[in-house]
């Protein structure tokens, strides 16, 4: 989430310093409008449009993650019924790894709709956790890729991470047949 906000701040800086002056210069040459006024106006308009798009993406991402957290909550409740240790345990940290987007074909060209692997993870312990989530990608029961993600989870908190398929050696020909597994290593703080 903070990565996206930092990207938005960087994008706004680029808009104000690079894109808006070009738009203002264009209007100065074509319509003879004052450069400074058009620079301010174009900065506001373009920043507003980009912010609206980014906020929409953030909200969609939030609700997608929330649906997987609800599934993990249900799985955790089942695990509690079966008996979990009272002490802090790695068994009380759950993850859900799934594919988002897809590879599609359109005519002779191959287009993508942003395929990625999303990992949503939650710490159900009452202590902060610092460790590593290791994601394994399988195709036809054979491991094709592995990636390690650093975790820093507060007590009862969740987070998510998007991973490019290339980082797990996944390509368009096997995308639909890939499955995932994970393991967690680390220790509790405090």
The pLDDT tens digits for 22-78 are 999 998 899 888 999 999 999 999 989 988 888 887 787 777 778 888 998 998 999
Domain 86-188, CATH 1.20.120.160 — does that match?
no
Domain boundaries, the chain: 1-83, 86-188
Residue 171, phi then psi, degrees to nearest 5: -130, 175
Percent of the chain with pLDDT over 70: 92
Percentages (nearest 5) of helix, strand, coil residues in the chain: 45, 35, 20
Mean pLDDT confidence for 107-124 = 72
Give pLDDT, residue 112.
44
* pLDDT surpasses 60 at 1: no
> Among candidates 136, 122, 126, which has minimal Cα distance to 181?
136
Residue 101 falls in which region: left (phi positive, over 0), alpha (psi -120 to 50) or beta? left
End-to-end CA distance of the chain: 25
Span 135-141, average pLDDT: 94
Per the CB < 8 A criterion, the answer to whether 93 and 129 are in contact is yes
């Amino acid at each position: 989430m903070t990565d996206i906000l930092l990207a938005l701040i960087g994008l706004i800086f680029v808009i104000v310093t690079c894109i808006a002056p070009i738009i203002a210069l264009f209007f100065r040459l074509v319509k003879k409008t004052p450069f400074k006024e058009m620079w301010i106006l174009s900065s506001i308009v373009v920043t507003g449009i980009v912010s609206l798009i980014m906020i929409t993406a953030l909200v969609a991402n939030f609700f997608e993650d929330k649906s997987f957290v609800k599934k993990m909550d249900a799985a955790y409740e089942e695990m509690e019924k079966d008996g979990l240790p009272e002490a802090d345990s790695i068994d009380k940290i759950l993850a859900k790894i799934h594919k988002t987007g897809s590879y599609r074909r359109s005519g002779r060209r191959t287009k993508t709709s942003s395929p990625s692997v999303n990992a949503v993870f939650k710490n159900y312990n009452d202590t902060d956790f610092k460790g590593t989530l290791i994601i394994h990608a399988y195709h036809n029961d054979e491991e094709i890729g592995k990636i390690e993600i650093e975790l820093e989870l507060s007590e009862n908190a969740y987070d998510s991470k998007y991973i490019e398929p290339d980082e797990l050696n996944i390509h368009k020909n096997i995308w639909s047949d890939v499955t995932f597994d994970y393991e967690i290593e680390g220790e509790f703080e405090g």
